[in-house]
């Protein structure tokens, strides 16, 4: 017997069973993640991008640039990433009334053990889920094309804003961190002295040995002064994850090539932003939205179980 799982954010594959008595295909449940409706009625109100199961490194660090594929290695130009939406300018407390989240009673009060509000902590947890960050970062990389692109086609406004708030609140202005990231099957084209940024929320690790386990075709050694240790809020606490915001800039201080492998050393030079703080236009999520509610409830349950909230 052969059955086909419907194409949806959580079901991009076909499933076959070998005999008539084999179990039936499990039902597929679609899901939207912290999405905000578009102001344009011609655009679908929820993100329908497939949540592909991808190698986290290549997707996390892939930037909007011309790429050249040679054998199994993809070469990507690392630059100042002009198209991503960073939206940090002028983002203050004027957006604290996030009705998309506030109608859930358990999000109304901040956590006693953290400087973050519960919605900010949950945003960090949600982002570290493998099924979320690849689509989220893909959207971030193009949302800065124009204000219209952001308003009409960027469905992660709430998540982006909460992540930006969370990193700004958790950051210690007197602390810089040395972190690493290993990448498989991708090399980044840079020169000594180049000014670059990742252009998206990027995860690097405090433990270099763990980072090397993800790949060795490109190894990043990064000195960040705006990255934040988020292991307390991550689903992968053992990896000692540091989150770097899209607006932090770096100088390439060293490039070492050994055969087909390259090591790139970056040092923080400050921040840059192409975008003013954009309002959360387009209304709020419906109060009876089952997808968002289910996701948040599941995330909160996990957060309580691991002691984050």
Residue 153: what pLDDT?
76
For 262-297, the three-class secondary structure string (H helix, E strand, C coil) is EEEEEEEEEECCCCECCCCCCCCCCCCCHHHHHHHH
Residue 148: what pLDDT?
77
**Whether 141 is catalytic:** no
pLDDT for 144-180, tens place per residue?
Answer: 667 777 777 787 888 888 999 999 999 999 999 999 9
Residue segments in the chain with a per-residue pLDDT below the cut of 70:
1-73, 75-114, 144-145, 274-309
Check 38, 141, 181, 234 and give the catalytic one: 181
Check 221, 239, 241, 278 and give the catalytic one: 241
Task: Work out the burial of residue 63: count CB atoms within 10 Å of its CB; fewer than 13 is exposed, 13-18 middle, 19 or more buried.
Answer: buried
- pTM value? 0.59
Check 32, 47, 203, 289 and give the catalytic one: 203
**Whether 257 is catalytic:** no
Residue 234: what pLDDT?
83
**Whether 181 is catalytic:** yes
Residue 46: what pLDDT?
31
Pairing of strands 73-77, 186-189: parallel
Residue 156: what pLDDT?
84
Domain ranges of the chain: 56-306
Q: What is the CATH number of domain 56-306?
A: 3.90.176.10
Residue 77: what pLDDT?
63
């Amino acid at each position: 017997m052969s059955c086909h799982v419907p194409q949806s954010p959580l079901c991009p594959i076909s499933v076959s069973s070998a005999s008539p008595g084999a179990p039936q295909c499990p039902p597929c449940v679609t899901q939207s993640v912290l999405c905000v409706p578009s102001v344009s009625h011609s655009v679908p109100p929820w993100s329908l991008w497939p949540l592909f199961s991808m190698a986290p490194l290549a997707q996390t660090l892939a930037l909007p640039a011309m790429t050249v594929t040679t054998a199994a290695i993809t070469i990507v130009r690392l630059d100042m990433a002009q198209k991503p939406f960073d939206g940090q300018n002028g983002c203050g407390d004027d957006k604290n009334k996030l009705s998309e989240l506030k109608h859930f009673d358990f999000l109304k009060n901040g956590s006693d053990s953290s400087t973050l509000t519960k919605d900010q902590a949950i945003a960090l947890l949600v982002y570290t889920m493998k099924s979320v960050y690849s689509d989220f970062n893909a959207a971030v990389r193009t949302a800065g094309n124009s204000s219209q692109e952001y308003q009409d086609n960027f469905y992660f406004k709430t998540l982006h804003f909460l992540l930006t708030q969370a990193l700004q609140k958790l950051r210690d202005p007197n602390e810089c961190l040395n972190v690493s990231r290993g990448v498989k099957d991708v090399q980044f084209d840079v020169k000594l002295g180049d000014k670059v940024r990742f252009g998206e929320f990027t995860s690097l690790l405090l433990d270099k040995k763990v980072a090397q386990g993800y790949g060795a075709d490109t190894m990043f050694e990064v000195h960040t002064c705006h990255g934040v240790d988020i292991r307390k809020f991550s689903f992968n606490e053992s990896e000692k994850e540091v989150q770097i915001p899209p607006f932090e800039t770096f100088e390439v201080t060293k490039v070492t090539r050994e055969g087909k492998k390259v090591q790139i050393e970056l040092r923080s030079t400050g921040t840059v932003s192409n975008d003013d703080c954009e309002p959360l236009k387009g209304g709020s999520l419906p109060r009876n939205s089952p997808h968002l509610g289910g996701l948040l409830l599941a995330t909160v349950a996990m957060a309580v179980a691991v002691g984050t909230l």
